[in-house]
A and B are shown apart, each in its own frame.
Chain A
Amino acid sequence: MELQEERQDGKLILHLAGKIDGSNADAFRQAVADHIDGGDRSIVLDFSRLEYLSSAGLRSVLLLAKRLKSEQGGFALCCMSDLIKGVFDVSGFSKILPIYRTRAEALAAV
């Protein structure tokens, strides 16, 4: 798993690449949490280069969403492949997380 940072107008875009599974989901969550600890409150996760996500990865995304909501932060997801989107759909997470097709829409939402 790789996590690349980009900033635009004070908003943090994190580009996920590779796989998020049970072996690295906690490290992924901690890496994003470090940014929240550092003061970031507008975060977009860009999934365009992510190849795989299991329930362990979803759990991390949900924990981050809960934390940012409780701290009045902005959080949005974008640019998922059909396979990754399927994981969010089957879990029911598509109904409770802000998922956008494009990065521009996600940025506008946070």
Chain B
Amino acid sequence: VTKSLDVRLKNDRAEIARLGDLIGTFGAEHQLPAETVFNLTLVVEELVTNAMTHGGAGQGDDFHVAVRISLDGSEIRTVIEDSGPPFDPLAEAPEPDLDSALEDRPVGGLGLHFAKAFSDSFAYQRAGDLNRSTVINKLKT
């Protein structure tokens, strides 16, 4: 049995809260472990934010992001597609600084690091006019 959640997001950071609530409801409906819901929410937020930052700036309603989350047995597959110009987060995002002192620590650059660290696999492809990221989260038991 496959169950899925489909959400189309407007080009607005306020949508992040709605998305998080929908994932929370989805997790409750399917009795997913709290850690799985937490990790999934985090990964999806970071990738959607990344897409809005790189593709959505100044684009208004011309830009959109679609999220599809599917529960299939012991894993969750998430596909995130955005209409921005080609951007491969795996190739183009710099490695984060995890070591410098407080005064020198950059305040950004962690989003993609989180997407990788809190998922079990992460792939990118350019699909026609869309950027498509596919993420797998295995259920924590």
* Residues of A with C-beta under 8 A to B139: none
Q: Does residue A109 face the partner (Cβ distance < 8 Å to B)?
A: no
User: Interface residues of B toward A: which range?
Assistant: 20 to 34
Interface of B is mostly: helix
Which of B16, B99, B101 is the one whose CB lies under 8 Å from A22?
A: B16
B107 touches A62 (CB 8 A): yes
A90 touches B114 (CB 8 A): yes
A59 touches B99 (CB 8 A): no
Which of A54, A90, A96 is the one whose CB lies under 8 Å from B105?
A: A96
Interface of A is mostly: helix
Q: Does residue A11 face the partner (Cβ distance < 8 Å to B)?
A: no
Q: Which residue of B lies closest to A93 (CB)?
A: B105
Q: Does residue A63 face the partner (Cβ distance < 8 Å to B)?
A: yes
* Residues of B with C-beta under 8 A to A97: 102
Q: Does residue A55 face the partner (Cβ distance < 8 Å to B)?
A: yes
B108 touches A59 (CB 8 A): yes
Q: Does residue A17 face the partner (Cβ distance < 8 Å to B)?
A: no
A90 touches B20 (CB 8 A): no
Known: A19-B20, A63-B107. A52 touches B46 (CB 8 A): no
Q: Shortest Cβ distance from B119 into chain A, in angstroms?
A: 12
Q: Does residue A92 face the partner (Cβ distance < 8 Å to B)?
A: yes
A92 touches B99 (CB 8 A): yes
Q: Does residue B129 face the partner (Cβ distance < 8 Å to A)?
A: no
* Residues of A with C-beta under 8 A to B114: 54-55, 87, 90-91
Q: Which residue of B lies closest to A58 (CB)?
A: B110
Known: A21-B20, A90-B118. A65 touches B102 (CB 8 A): yes
Contact with B along A28-56 (1 / 0, CB 8 A): 00000000000000000000000010111
